[in-house]
Amino acid sequence: MKPTLFFLNDDAKILDLIKKGDEEALVIVYSQNKNAIFSLVMRNNGSEHDADDVLQESVVILWERVKSGRFEYTAKLSTFLYAVAKNVWSRKRMRKMREPATEFDNDAFATTDQSPLDEMISSERSRTIADALEQLGDPCKTLLLLYYWEERSQEEIAVQMGFANAATVKSKKYTCKKMLEKILKNNG
Amino acid sequence: MIVMKESDKKYWTDDPERIEKYVLGQVSAEEKVRMEKEIADCEPCKAKLREEMEIAAGIRRYGRDALKQRLRSKLKRERASQYYSYQYIGLAASVVIIAIGIGLYKIWFSDLVAPKQFRQQEIVLTQKQDSAEEKIVPQENNEQGTPSQNLTEQREIAKRKKSNLADEQLSNKPSQISSGAGADQLQQTPPAAALADAGESNSSQGSSAIWLIGKVVMVTGQLETMSHSESKMEMSKRSDKQAVKEKSVETAASEKMIAVRRAKDEGIVLQQRAAKDIPDARTRQYTMHAQEVQTLLERTDNGFSLTLYADNVKDSDLQEAVVETLTEDSLVVSLPHQRIAFRMPSGWNSQPAHRR
């Protein structure tokens, strides 16, 4: 699908902002897609609060994908976001309401293929680990976020965090993970 | 390519880098299938892989939650900003609506206000005690005017305004009252008086009456300058230079007035009413001053009717009254004990006239 020049230009600006780490892009994407996503969620038994939550999560997923370099511009951002929101709302609703899947739950969205990690993020265990990471503090927290969330290479992390080289990052990462495991063990 | 040998009893899950690559999805689909097949029978391997994935998921969740929190904060600020914007817009709209309301109120009720044009420059006929010389003294009655303004310019502007206004007013249909004197006759004139009171410039309503301000310039038969002292005080307020200039203009005008005096008779019927009969609306809009006579000028079939609202004018005075036009835009009513001067709209006296 070839996007029109208008959307190419508009989306390109947003993608550029995200790549630069400008979080104002999140607000722009949220505002631009609010009507469509709210309509989608509320048409499928969701409340306004649910719609707000789904849209926020979808926008964050877009941010993740772009920042990690896993985003491929094959459709307009609005199309991508709509597909992500469908999946997010489907998972949320099944989890919360234990409802059977609806007509769009089985849709295949090439742009939103969920990784095994995405499936696990909503688990209770992931919440415990997130809490432990908060306790871990910096610089380990930042390092692990850069590596596991933003999927930066060890070389990039070394530059960003001022480590000597990738080997130092690797060593530091190992230490941080051990500290995290220790916190998790202590927290039970 | 990852190849695990059975003899080593080691799996790829023992290699931190490999397990991280798998967890982060940095292996190809083909390799992923092979790796999963390798640990299919290794429960500790699967447990280790799951643990690694949970850590990665937890870290990602932390990142997402933190980013969502920041997004919520930004949206909250955005909404608050929009809210205040709407409030400002609402406030501005309220101000505009109030202003429009005040404007409409003034428009609807402004028909009770006497037009400024007639008050811009009243001509007062004065007569010096010693020389009995008549002259026109411009009197600044315009509250908006500035004394320092050039007198000639003021007169030109006033003349133009007055001319336009008079053309509008005097071209309207004549009043039903054609002649007669006294209060009885005047009692039949409320419509015209009301129209006049509603505004001299209200030509759109067909009014044929206008209010005039008469200046009493002489009392008790002598050439006493009643307004001379006022005029003198006013003169003293102005700069000497301006006063000299003004005086020269006034002298010229006076000479002209004398030349045209009695040159034309007007068909004017004089009437008198008590000052208390002045309509309330008129008294509200115009502050009465001593030496001023509120006078209603109405066009009649036979000419004009001039009703003086003055308590000190008697019927017998009216019998001896003489109405004279001094210039095209000034008129003097000479009564036995006083003279009353009027500044008239231009072109008002185009009809034949007679004395009463």
Task: Please tell me the least confidently modeled range out of B152-156, B177-181, B206-210.
Answer: B177-181
Residue where one domain finishes, among candidates B95, B112, B129: B112
The count of domains in chain B is 2
In chain A, what are the domain boundaries? 5-111, 124-187
Residues B91 and B139 in one domain: no
A64 CB neighbours in chain B (<8 A) are: 60, 63-64
Distance CA B310, CA A44 (A): 87
pLDDT digits (tens, 9 = 90+) for A51-90: 999 999 899 989 988 888 888 878 888 888 999 999 888 8
Are B54 and B175 within one domain?
Answer: no
Average pLDDT estimate for B289-307: 83
In whole angstroms, give the CA distance from residue B36 to residue B243: 112
CB contacts of B81 in chain A (<8 Å) are: none
Shared domain check, B128 and B75: no
Evaluate whether the domain defined by A5-111 bears CATH number 1.10.1740.10: yes
Q: What number is the average pLDDT over the span B175-193? A: 36
| Contact residues, B window 266-305, toward A, CB-based 8 Å cutoff | none
Query: CA-CA distance, A82 to A58, in Å (whole number)?
Result: 8
**Cross-chain residue pair A127–B60, CB shorter than 8 Å:** no
pLDDT of residue B6: 52
Domain membership of residue B97 as a residue range: 1-112
> Which one of B112, B132, B161 terminates a domain?
B112
Q: Which residue has the tokens 């048409």?
A: A43
Taking each helix axis from N to C terminus, what angle separates A166-187 and B43-109, rounded to the nearest 10 degrees? 90
Which two three-digit tokens encode residue B134? 């008549």
Residue B217's nearest CA partner among B122, B307, B340 is B340
Question: What ipTM was assigned to the predicted interfaces of this complex?
Answer: 0.77
Mean per-residue pLDDT of chain A: 80
Q: Per-residue pLDDT averaged across B116-138, rounded?
A: 40
Same domain membership, residue B271 and residue B125 = yes
Check whether A168 has a pLDDT greater than 70: yes
- Kindly state whether residues B4 and B103 are assigned to the same domain: yes
B345 and B303 assigned to the same domain = yes
| A150 touching B (Cβ < 8 Å) | yes
| Mean pLDDT along residues B286-298 | 83
pLDDT in tens, B48-96: 888 888 888 888 888 888 888 888 888 888 878 777 777 788 888 889 9
Q: What is the pLDDT of residue B219?
A: 62
Instruction: Say yes or no: B272 and B309 in one domain.
Output: yes
The DSSP bridge pattern shows strands B338-343 and B134-140 to be unpaired
Most confident of A58-67, A89-98, B201-210, B274-283: A58-67
Out of B61, B62, B67, name the one closest to residue A63 (CB). Answer: B67
Chain B interface mutation, best of A141, A148, A151, A156, highest count of B Cβ atoms under 10 Å: A148
pLDDT > 70 in chain A, percent: 80
- Whole-number pLDDT of residue B205: 37
Q: Are residues B148 and B92 in the same domain?
A: no
Question: Which residues does residue B293 pair with via DSSP β-bridges, in sequence order?
Answer: B214
Residues B181 and B269 in one domain: yes
pLDDT tens for residues B325-347? 777 788 888 888 888 888 887 77
Q: Are residues B141 and B278 in the same domain?
A: yes
Does the pLDDT value for residue A154 go beyond 60?
A: yes
Helix (H, G, I), strand (E, B) or coil at B331: strand
pLDDT tens track for A34-51: 999 999 999 888 889 999
Flag whether residue A180 sits within 8 Å of chain B, measured between CB atoms: yes
Residue B229, pLDDT above cutoff 70:
no
> B349: pLDDT confidence band, cut at 50, 70 and 90?
low
Assigned CATH class of A124-187: mainly alpha
Q: Is the dihedral of CA B324, B327, B328, B331 positive or negative?
A: negative
Given a cut of 70, whether residue A143 has pLDDT beyond it is yes
pLDDT at B225 over 60: no
Number of H helices, E strands in chain A: 9, 0
Specify the pLDDT at position B303: 76
* Residues B122, B85 within the same domain: no
Among B112, B127, B157, the domain-final residue is B112
Query: Residue B184 region, left (φ>0) first, then alpha (ψ -120 to 50), else beta?
Result: alpha
Answer whether A126 touches B (CB < 8 Å): yes
Which one of B50-59, B122-131, B217-226 scores highest in mean pLDDT? Answer: B50-59
The pairing of beta strand B303-309 with beta strand B266-273: parallel
- Identify whether residues B182 and B304 lie together within a single domain: yes
**Residue range A14-32, pLDDT digits in tens:** 888 888 888 888 888 898 8
Do the two domains A5-111 and A124-187 of this chain adopt the same fold? no
Mean confidence (pLDDT) of chain B: 65
Confidence band for B40, pLDDT divided at 50, 70 and 90:
confident
